[in-house]
A and B are shown apart, each in its own frame.
Chain A
Amino acid sequence: MDIGYLFLIISFLSSLYATYAFYIGSKSDKKVAIRLLKRAENSLYIYTISIIVSILILTYYFLIRDFNVRYVYLYSDRHLSPLYTISAVWAGREGSLLLWAVYIAILNVLALKIERKDRVLALSLSISSFIFLFLSLLLLTTSNPFVRLEFTPQDGYGLIPLLRTPEMALHPPTIFLGYAGATLPFSIAIASMYLRSQWENRIRIWTLITWIFLSIGIFLGGWWAYKTLGWGGFWAWDPVENASLLPWLTATALIHGLIRRFRHLNFWLTSTTFMLVILATFITRSGIIESVHAFGESAEAYFYLALITFSALLSFKVYKGKTHTENKKSASTIRDLTLIMNIFILSLSAITILLGTLTPLFSDVVVGKSFYNRIEIPLGTLLVILLGICIAMDWKFNKEVFLLRIKISSLIGIIAGIIVFFVTSMSIASLASGIFLFSLINHIQTIKPTDYKNPRKFGGYITHIGLLLLFIGVMGSWIYEEHYKVEIPVGGSYKAGEYELKLKDVIFSEDEEKVVATAIVDVYKDGNLKAELNPKLINYKIKRQERIVSGVSIDSSVERDYYIAISGISQNKGFFEFYVIPLVSFVWIGSIVMIIGGLFAMSYRLKFD
């Protein structure tokens, strides 16, 4: 037996005991409870340490290039640089599952360290240890990363070339931390509901962690797609992308729900977020939904369906069992109403995406991108308007002040819209910039310098402004993108709209890792040189079928990107996909600002402890 597998077994057994002991401990009298919970805590430490040791062992196998380990053989080779060799640990199904389990274990330890030690925490840790138990069972059976081959190959199969980018090296570690983060809110909510305890303050930090890391993961995925895949976009409404966006949307709704105690709503948002995380795993790993991405078919997937069913039943049970005598905080103020509307829009977004993503499961049709765009663009726009209105209100609603703010921001928005229309004569652009400024001005009017000391509020403001920038970026790049299929002989030129593209040369080069064809393309507009681009076609010398990768070339500036990818090339001719994408930089800036806002909001809780 491999030593790494041995640590997985230790992990499995101790999490089994922890699940049991935390559960019994949460129900026992004080004396028994103290004794049992002490043991439960120790098993929690044991399974955390063992799972960390096993991922370190796997990393070690990668670094010493032990191709006798099947997983190492499949995802690396001798020429792979040390950093990408480490990233290969989570390049496949087994390793990423292992990473996910590591995160859940570490977060459970963190919860034990910073949460109040009471019955609720004990029961929560029993639930979250059970989820860990579930994952470690999969690691022992269907997704064992320590399977050894009967012989030792001379060289590995090689890391998938598309994953050899910094973004893709970092995408799984962030997105899985986001996934893992959803476990604790779910466990705490279930446990608290069962024990009839107040829980919403306790889950806030864990929900924020989920939100921040899902955001970073989704952002890295989008950025990677843009820089790597060569179709000029960052979001294709692909099932795998949707899968991660779904829990992000409900987590966002939840963070807003937590501002006020919309207890029932919050409970279901928490539970749904967790179930959507598991659904995301199911979608990616089952290969059941046809997609460019999700093709890793595995029996493991059906276990996730079982986990979703279990979570849903558990949620219904504790929800039904709960007496509804609590002081229900209903939407009493007008600002509460806008918060509810916000949660409503985010939920509708999630329902739309869920419907589009799951349709192929139940019928023989494919849902096109236009479905999502037709629903999500209006919903997003509505959300931005609502955001402006909501922020213009104070918790203590003052009608005169509110109307004054709205008048000022509407006026500025309308003027800006008219100016944009006269300059560009583009109707959607002027509408979007009007809405953008309306919402932005309302934020500026209500923020006070002293708010800096209130990270929850200030972090929220930063995230909102990030969202507004993202909105501008999405509108610009989705609606005003230009795309040309270009065919140029070497030394010749091609007219694409108002642009002229010249193919100066095609250079072939080779090193021990790959063969590269580089095209030198200059972009002219009105006779002026606008950009010098050098798209590549890279052919990796590995055993994999996925050998050829298109190296996209982008000339970025704040207002637009020139973007080109090779679609076919020979000694004397090149075929290209050429895009001019306005304002796409706002997508990146906006996303980063949103994430910074999230981090800022989190510093609130950290300061208190």
Chain B
Amino acid sequence: MNRNTKTILGISLIIFSIGLAFAFKNSISPYLTVTQVVERGEAINVQVNGTIVPNSTTYNPETNTRTFLLTDGKTTIKVIYRGAVQNYQEGIPAVVVGDYKNGVFEAEKLLLKCPSKYQAGG
């Protein structure tokens, strides 16, 4: 490679790194446990990992709203979720994405973990 090539690549690399850093900083959201969320009191745009408490789900077909409890073994929070859910099941691990305010977690997204799902995906 001659010097011009190296200069061009070098400059683009610097510009790229700056862009990458900004994009990264603006796109990350913290991953919390249920206990950490409750300790914070209020948390916006976070992902929370936990298990759906058995027999805690209520579903209102009039508003398509699902309410359930999420636990990490130590602490439990109430989660409200409106929207599509495939393979909903109590007692399984779940990830909720959304905001925690006034003791309630408003989930925008609900991701359910299935032990054997998609393994073939490769």
User: Given A240-B118, A293-B118, 11 more contacts at CB 8 Å?
Assistant: A171-B120, A290-B49, A295-B118, A365-B31, A366-B47, A367-B28, A374-B23, A375-B19, A546-B116, A548-B86, A550-B86
* Pairwise interchain contact A360-B120, C-beta atoms closer than 8 A: no
Contact of B111 among A292, A337, A340, A567 (CB under 8 A): A292
B73 adjacent to chain A (CB < 8 Å): no
B6 to chain A, nearest CB (A): 10
Which A residues touch B84, using CB under 8 A? Answer: 230-231, 550, 565-568, 575, 577
A329 to chain B, nearest CB (A): 11
Interface residues of B in 87-121 (CB under 8 A from A): 87-89, 92, 95, 111, 113-121
Which B residues touch A368, using CB under 8 A? Answer: 27-29
Contact of A295 among B20, B29, B117 (CB under 8 A): B117
* Pairwise interchain contact B122-A175, C-beta atoms closer than 8 A: yes
* Pairwise interchain contact B86-A365, C-beta atoms closer than 8 A: no
Which A residues touch B28, using CB under 8 A? Answer: 359, 365-368, 371
* Pairwise interchain contact A293-B121, C-beta atoms closer than 8 A: yes
Measured CB to CB, the nearest residue on chain B to A382 is: B12
Given A92-B116, A366-B31, A179 and B122 contact (CB-CB distance below 8 Å): yes
Contact of A545 among B8, B23, B32, B92 (CB under 8 A): B92
Which A residues touch B55, using CB under 8 A? Answer: none
Contact of B2 among A330, A549, A577 (CB under 8 A): A330
Measured CB to CB, the nearest residue on chain A to B97 is: A366
Which B residues touch A546, using CB under 8 A? Answer: 86-87, 114, 116-117
A127 to chain B, nearest CB (A): 22
A168 adjacent to chain B (CB < 8 Å): yes
Given A370-B26, A371-B23, A577-B83, A74 and B122 contact (CB-CB distance below 8 Å): no
Which A residues touch B92, using CB under 8 A? Answer: 545
Complex A-B: 13 CB contacts under 8 Å: A92-B116, A160-B117, A171-B122, A231-B84, A293-B121, A296-B118, A330-B1, A330-B2, A348-B16, A366-B31, A369-B27, A545-B92, A568-B64
| A322–B83 CA distance with the chains assembled, in angstroms | 59
Given A331-B5, A355-B24, A567-B84, A290 and B119 contact (CB-CB distance below 8 Å): no
Which B residues touch A285, using CB under 8 A? Answer: 119
| A549–B84 CA distance with the chains assembled, in angstroms | 11
Given A240-B121, A344-B9, A567-B64, A365 and B30 contact (CB-CB distance below 8 Å): yes
* Pairwise interchain contact B119-A281, C-beta atoms closer than 8 A: no
B2 to chain A, nearest CB (A): 7
Please report whether the interface of chain B is mostly helix, strand, loop or mixed according to DSSP.
mixed
Which A residues touch B85, using CB under 8 A? Answer: 567
A570 adjacent to chain B (CB < 8 Å): yes
| A179–B8 CA distance with the chains assembled, in angstroms | 34
Which B residues touch A175, using CB under 8 A? Answer: 122
Given A331-B2, A366-B47, A92 and B119 contact (CB-CB distance below 8 Å): yes
B62 adjacent to chain A (CB < 8 Å): yes
Which A residues touch B82, using CB under 8 A? Answer: 485
* Pairwise interchain contact A296-B47, C-beta atoms closer than 8 A: no
* Pairwise interchain contact A171-B27, C-beta atoms closer than 8 A: no
* Pairwise interchain contact B119-A296, C-beta atoms closer than 8 A: yes
Which B residues touch A348, using CB under 8 A? Answer: 16
* Pairwise interchain contact B119-A96, C-beta atoms closer than 8 A: yes
Which A residues touch B122, using CB under 8 A? Answer: 96, 171-172, 175-176, 179, 217, 244, 280-281, 284
Q: Tell me the B residues contacting A by CB distance below 8 Å.
A: 1-2, 5, 8-9, 12, 16, 19-20, 23-24, 26-32, 47, 49, 61-62, 64, 82-89, 92, 95, 111, 113-122
A131 to chain B, nearest CB (A): 16
B20 to chain A, nearest CB (A): 6
* Pairwise interchain contact A364-B31, C-beta atoms closer than 8 A: yes
Which A residues touch B5, using CB under 8 A? Answer: 331, 337, 340
Which B residues touch A90, using CB under 8 A? Answer: 120
Which A residues touch B86, using CB under 8 A? Answer: 162, 230, 546, 548-550
* Pairwise interchain contact A295-B114, C-beta atoms closer than 8 A: yes
* Pairwise interchain contact B31-A162, C-beta atoms closer than 8 A: no
* Pairwise interchain contact B111-A371, C-beta atoms closer than 8 A: no
A294 adjacent to chain B (CB < 8 Å): yes
A57 adjacent to chain B (CB < 8 Å): no
| A366–B31 CA distance with the chains assembled, in angstroms | 6
| A93–B61 CA distance with the chains assembled, in angstroms | 37
Contact of A365 among B20, B29, B62, B116 (CB under 8 A): B29
Measured CB to CB, the nearest residue on chain A to B26 is: A370
| A566–B85 CA distance with the chains assembled, in angstroms | 9
Which B residues touch A344, using CB under 8 A? Answer: 9, 12
| A241–B33 CA distance with the chains assembled, in angstroms | 26
Which B residues touch A171, using CB under 8 A? Answer: 120-122
Which A residues touch B49, using CB under 8 A? Answer: 290
Which A residues touch B24, using CB under 8 A? Answer: 355-356, 367, 371
B14 to chain A, nearest CB (A): 12
Measured CB to CB, the nearest residue on chain A to B46 is: A366
| A240–B120 CA distance with the chains assembled, in angstroms | 11
Measured CB to CB, the nearest residue on chain B to A97 is: B122
A261 adjacent to chain B (CB < 8 Å): no
| A187–B121 CA distance with the chains assembled, in angstroms | 25
* Pairwise interchain contact B89-A545, C-beta atoms closer than 8 A: yes
* Pairwise interchain contact B117-A96, C-beta atoms closer than 8 A: no
Which B residues touch A549, using CB under 8 A? Answer: 86
| A483–B92 CA distance with the chains assembled, in angstroms | 29
Find the residue from B19, B85, B87 having the highest chain A CB count within 10 A: B87
Which B residues touch A330, using CB under 8 A? Answer: 1-2
Contact with B along A340-366 (1 / 0, CB 8 A): 110010001000100110011000111
Given A172-B122, A344-B9, A293 and B27 contact (CB-CB distance below 8 Å): no
B9 to chain A, nearest CB (A): 6
A148 adjacent to chain B (CB < 8 Å): no
Contact of B95 among A231, A290, A487, A568 (CB under 8 A): A290
Given A296-B119, A545-B92, A371 and B114 contact (CB-CB distance below 8 Å): no
Which B residues touch A371, using CB under 8 A? Answer: 23-24, 26-28
Contact with B along A558-577 (1 / 0, CB 8 A): 00000001111010010101
Measured CB to CB, the nearest residue on chain B to A94 is: B119
Which B residues touch A244, using CB under 8 A? Answer: 122
Measured CB to CB, the nearest residue on chain B to A576 is: B84
Measured CB to CB, the nearest residue on chain A to B114 is: A546
* Pairwise interchain contact A547-B87, C-beta atoms closer than 8 A: yes
